């Protein structure tokens, strides 16, 4: 494993580039390399800069293709690719279609799924990946991404980038449902969770046959950009474990008390749907007091789902509590789209605290947002009152109102001391 890490100060450009250069020297001219970075919804990941650097150094001697690991998200626009990766030619990019571009690689038996979920989930699960990974057309696959607390797998990235990011329907659906059934608050921020053990099983029994190099980052938000504290490069699981150890220190914030009000800012360049924007709900829910409020400042929100199927499902059922969704799930109403059921469970406070979205009424009208069970307010007055672009994460008091402000909820997890 190659790595560069600092606990207290961000890595200098030369430090993370030196680690990449050491790896690049192992590459033979003429190799065909497939790079799998995240999409722009992970704009704080540093993966865009790393992908751009790899392309700059290798495109003259190797054939490079880049496939953003969009999972079920919409495809990136050309403008988003330029913002995230720089001026890489469009001809270098491949698209992942989670419905049509995957091939089965193995099935996780029902008894194994039951074992890793302590009997909470009992069904076999098919693992799929994009056909380009299996075709033999590439000598090397490079998976780039950020290790950060995550609501489904505990700590994001590593094999999640393959089995979800460029994976298929069954694994995406069932892994999300496992996290909902096992409990989001017992999963977030932990390395070894039921879904991670599921992914480990697939890796051990199939993915290890592929030549995959993982490049994993640990970052923190800094003035609407990000600082890189760790870069880990390797093929073994210790690459992920090492990144997790740093992410636990850098990306989990422990508060001394619960907050009556939490305000979260969603950068419009990153968040266009509640499917992604609800990271503000997942990552803060353990710090909000009973009867409190989460106010989400979301000027870019214009839809609920990242695709039409999920969007329609959210509009139909709404974020109306675990019991309603579980009842519908048990009646077979989410067959083939279990990930939406899990998302609706994760995105509800079950009445414990109020969730208010502040949106642009031209993009997301009041009646539309309220129709799915959330409160609504106009983003204009909220931007003027709270000035989120100028604030840093922390406690604030304004005219007798105390609140905790979070600048980039997607790159962290907030918890309360003594409530582990």
- Structure confidence at residue 223 as a pLDDT band (50, 70, 90): low
Share the mean pLDDT of the chain.
94
pLDDT tens-digit readout, 339-373: 999 999 999 999 999 999 999 999 999 999 999 99
All structural domains of the chain with their residue ranges: 2-250, 253-416
What's the farthest any 2 CA atoms get from each other in the chain?
65
Right CATH for 253-416 from 3.90.226.30, 3.30.2080.10, 3.40.50.1100, 2.60.40.650: 3.90.226.30
Mean pLDDT, residues 10-25 taken together: 96
pLDDT tens-digit readout, 83-125: 999 999 999 999 999 999 999 999 999 999 999 999 999 999 9
Look up the CATH architecture of domain 2-250: 3-Layer(aba) Sandwich (3.40)
Asked if the model's pLDDT at residue 384 lies above 80, the reply is yes
What pLDDT score was predicted for residue 409? Answer: 94
Distance CA 192, CA 200 (A): 10
Same fold, 2-250 and 253-416: no
User: Which residues touch 405 (CB under 8 Å, ≥6 apart)?
Assistant: 262, 263, 264, 265, 386, 388, 391, 392, 393, 394, 395, 396
Of 17-21, 153-157, 222-226, which range is least confident? Answer: 222-226
- Overall size of the chain counted in residues: 420
Q: Reduced to 3 states, what is the DSSP secondary structure of residue 56?
A: helix
Mean pLDDT, residues 236-245 taken together: 97
For residue 298, give Cα distances in angstroms to 54, 345, 358.
33, 21, 6
- Structure confidence at residue 41 as a pLDDT band (50, 70, 90): confident
pLDDT tens-digit readout, 55-74: 999 999 999 999 999 988 88
Distance CA 420, CA 416 (A): 8
- Structure confidence at residue 224 as a pLDDT band (50, 70, 90): low
- Structure confidence at residue 211 as a pLDDT band (50, 70, 90): confident
- Structure confidence at residue 253 as a pLDDT band (50, 70, 90): very high
For residue 170, give Cα distances in angstroms to 163, 185, 336.
10, 23, 8
Q: Model pTM?
A: 0.91
β-strand partners of 104:
128
What pLDDT score was predicted for residue 163? Answer: 96
Of 262-266, 268-272, 279-283, which range is least confident? Answer: 268-272
- Spatial CA neighbour of 210 closest among 153, 277, 139: 139
Distance CA 273, CA 357 (A): 11
Asked if the model's pLDDT at residue 398 lies above 90, the reply is no
What pLDDT score was predicted for residue 269? Answer: 87
Mean pLDDT, residues 263-290 taken together: 95
β-strand partners of 405:
263, 394
């Amino acid at each position: 494993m190659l790595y560069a890490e600092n606990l207290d100060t961000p890595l200098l450009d030369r430090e993370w580039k030196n680690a990449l250069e050491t790896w690049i020297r192992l590459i033979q001219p003429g190799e065909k390399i497939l790079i799998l970075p995240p999409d722009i919804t992970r704009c704080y990941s540093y993966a865009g800069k790393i992908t751009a650097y790899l392309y700059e150094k290798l495109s003259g001697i190797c054939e490079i293709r880049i496939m953003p690991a969009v999972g079920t998200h919409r495809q990136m626009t050309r403008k988003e690719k330029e913002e995230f990766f720089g001026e890489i030619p469009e001809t270098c990019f491949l698209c992942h279609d989670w419905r049509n571009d995957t091939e089965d690689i193995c099935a996780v038996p029902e008894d194994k799924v039951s074992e890793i979920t302590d009997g909470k989930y009992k069904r076999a699960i098919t693992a799929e990946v994009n056909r380009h990974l299996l075709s033999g057309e590439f000598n090397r696959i490079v998976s780039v991404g950020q290790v950060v607390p995550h609501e489904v797998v505990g700590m994001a990235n590593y094999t999640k980038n393959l089995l979800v990011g460029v994976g298929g329907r069954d694994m995406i659906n069932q892994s999300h449902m496992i996290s909902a059934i096992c409990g989001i608050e017992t999963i977030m921020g932990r390395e070894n969770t039921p879904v991670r053990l599921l992914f480990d099983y697939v890796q051990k029994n199939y993915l290890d046959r592929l030549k995959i190099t993982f490049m994993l980052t640990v970052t923190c938000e800094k003035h609407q950009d990000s600082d890189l504290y760790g870069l880990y490069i390797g093929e073994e699981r210790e690459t992920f474990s090492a990144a997790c150890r740093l992410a636990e220190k850098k990306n989990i914030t422990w508060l001394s008390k619960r907050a009556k009000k939490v305000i979260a800012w969603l950068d419009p360049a990153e968040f266009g749907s509640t499917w992604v924007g609800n990271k503000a709900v997942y990552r803060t829910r353990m710090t909000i007091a009973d009867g409190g409020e989460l106010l989400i400042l979301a000027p870019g929100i214009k839809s609920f789902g990242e695709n039409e199927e999920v969007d329609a499902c959210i509009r139909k059922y709404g974020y109306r509590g675990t019991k309603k969704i579980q009842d519908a799930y048990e009646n077979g109403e989410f067959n083939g789209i279990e990930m939406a059921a899990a998302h609706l469970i994760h995105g509800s406070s079950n009445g414990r605290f109020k969730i208010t979205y502040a949106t642009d009424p031209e993009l997301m009208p009041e009646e539309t947002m309220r129709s799915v069970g959330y409160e609504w307010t106009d983003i204009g007055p909220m931007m003027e009152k709270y000035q989120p672009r100028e604030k840093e994460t922390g406690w604030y008091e304004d005219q007798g109102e105390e609140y905790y402000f979070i600048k980039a909820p997607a790159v962290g997890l907030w918890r309360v001391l003594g409530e582990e």
